[in-house]
Chains A and B, each alone.
Chain A
């Protein structure tokens, strides 16, 4: 019994560890969605990419023995679904949100179908390296077991922010997302830009899925995703279409998911359903409080407000 200090410390460590472990797939999916939305489309189907990526990653890792090949194929499967989304949405009158939901069903359906034979076997997983060996608190050491994909996420975040802000390609994506008229005037191929953005976004979501099956929790089954792909879409709005904020928001969501179990493990035993709902309430509250009466959110790609189809 070390008293409350010990409990508080261990809850903090658990939330930190959870932020990293649970947050990583959110980082990938939300960065992917951020890219897609910046180009002026919402892809609500990233849940399908995530589940498909989780299955494909695990299956390929099992069949080939190489988890990194699995990650790659997971990304490619996500890009393929992204391609489908982009192709359909560039047809006149086709609603991107509806297509997203349809792809979510198709993606999970295909993943469940093809994944049946990969529930039982154990595939090689991604490894991790320890950043916490300086500490003598075992819990902290465990929390700082870092997977390479998390590092990739750390690198990708500022890279994407830089991309949007300074690169010519980023400017093109933003222009296409801000105003189709301006993009047309500049001679950009709107459909091509959006297709590439959606495919790249889908790729990232697929990679996020492979993190679930190949690292944490590190196994493929049909209940693996509890809506992380859907939540990541909300997270992008929460993050005001800013990649750096997406990263922080992902960590926050990951930490929030760890809060419930962590509190129970130190003896705070009631209200776990409400703790589980905390991320959703938080997102909604922030969405409400940061939006304004003139009905335009700061940072929102203009074409998402007034779609100029």
Chain B
């Protein structure tokens, strides 16, 4: 499979090679615009939920606040923007009324059709979307996507969970069965099974991104089933981490640092580090550099990170987790090395075949790995 993806640190040069003259003209135009807008870089951020949700949106908001601390950056944002015509209008307002030069609409559902439609209308503005797949053949040149391999710190959390679990049962509370979620479930499980092959992971889909009552119920019923480490992929992990603490089981966080919420049972977690990404983008714009259309990175590039260890984590578990993290930081490690079976017994990655982290095949994952109890069907 030939992809248009570029390595995070190499992107600019390789992109220059691939660019046609038309797009170069477009980017030239945008440089002019930046120069006119004065010395500040104007960046607009859009979130699908409230910016202090202790989760996905907060992570982006922290990234925005991080980049806004640069004196030459003017960053503004808008929260709770639904994935309807609202987001199209929010983007246009930021361009027309606030003079945004680059927009970061951060919810996956913003991409198609909303960003694609507005980007065609404003070719001189850069639209950078979190999580989407920019395709050179299909999508406008002023659109890009960025995402972090958060499944790497999730895998590391799985290692800790696998060593800390006494019942060998882990619990994963997820919103809906989409590739980003399934990849996290699989990596958590593979991380745990890499140190403890007896581990199984129970999955509960709540059917929505924010439903605290259902999440708490899911957490309770899994603990009742003997699960003793809980983690999740929902918009806000707060309720789940707190429920785990109340029930006296371990928890691994997600999106942001939830250690303060569960001082006894928190193990570690996977966090975004968007400040890095946003600051890099801002510098590229300031220095008039070309902006790469596809940015990906993991622990090595510092786009994602692990949460600090909780007090319960044993030295042995810390050591194993640190070792796993070091492997990821070399940039050569992948968990997806054949033979890998899914949880129905079908071989999904045959013996001898392996998929490096940057392979886009992994971003369309629709299976659950062996050891996961759950199904991708609705």
Instruction: List A residues at the B interface (Cβ < 8 Å).
Output: 10, 13-14, 17-18, 21-22, 112, 116, 119-120, 122, 138-139, 142-143, 212, 216-219, 221-224, 226, 228, 257-258, 260-262, 264-267, 269-273, 276
Contact = CB atoms under 8 A, between A and B. Distances in A.
B378 A224 contact: no
Interface in B356-378: 373-375, 377-378
Interface in B202-233: 202-208, 210-218, 220-225, 227
B220 A14 contact: yes
Contacts of A226: 208, 211, 213-214
Contacts of B205: 264, 272
B217 A269 contact: no
6 contacts: A139-B225, A218-B216, A221-B50, A221-B236, A261-B218, A270-B377
B222 A217 contact: no
A178 B52 CA distance: 48
A218 B242 contact: yes
B220 A17 contact: yes
Contacts of A271: 378
A119 B378 CA distance: 31
A116 B80 CA distance: 13
Interface string B333-368: 000000000000000000000000000000000000
B217 A257 contact: yes
Interface of B: 49-50, 52-54, 171, 202-208, 210-218, 220-225, 227, 235-236, 238-239, 242-243, 246-247, 260-261, 373-375, 377-378
A54 to B, nearest CB: 10
Contact of B217 (A138, A261, A273): A261
A142 B206 contact: no
A142 B204 contact: no
A61 to B, nearest CB: 15
Given A258-B221, A266-B225, 15 more contacts: A17-B220, A120-B54, A142-B224, A142-B247, A143-B224, A212-B213, A216-B213, A217-B215, A226-B214, A261-B204, A264-B204, A269-B374, A269-B375, A269-B377, A272-B206
The list of the 3 closest CB pairs from A to B, nearest first, reads: A223-B210, A139-B224, A269-B375
B261 A122 contact: yes
A264 B50 contact: no
A272 B221 contact: no
Contacts of B54: 119-120, 221
Contacts of A138: 224
A119 B242 contact: no
A279 to B, nearest CB: 12
A8 B242 CA distance: 27
Contacts of A264: 203-205, 218, 221, 374
Contacts of A272: 205-207, 378
B213 A22 contact: yes
A217 B173 CA distance: 15
A142 B223 contact: yes
Contacts of A216: 213, 216
A265 B224 contact: yes
Contacts of B217: 14, 18, 21-22, 257-258, 260-262
Contacts of A143: 224
Q: Taking each of B204, B212, B213, B227, which has the highest tally of chain A beta carbons within 10 Å of its own beta carbon?
A: B213
Interface centre among A143, A221, A265 (most CB of B within 10 A): A265
Contacts of A139: 223-225
B261 A270 contact: no
Contacts of B215: 217
A13 B222 CA distance: 12
Nearest to A265: B221
A182 B222 CA distance: 55
A272 B50 CA distance: 26
A219 B171 CA distance: 21
A273 B212 contact: no
A138 B216 CA distance: 17
B239 A218 contact: yes
A267 B373 contact: yes
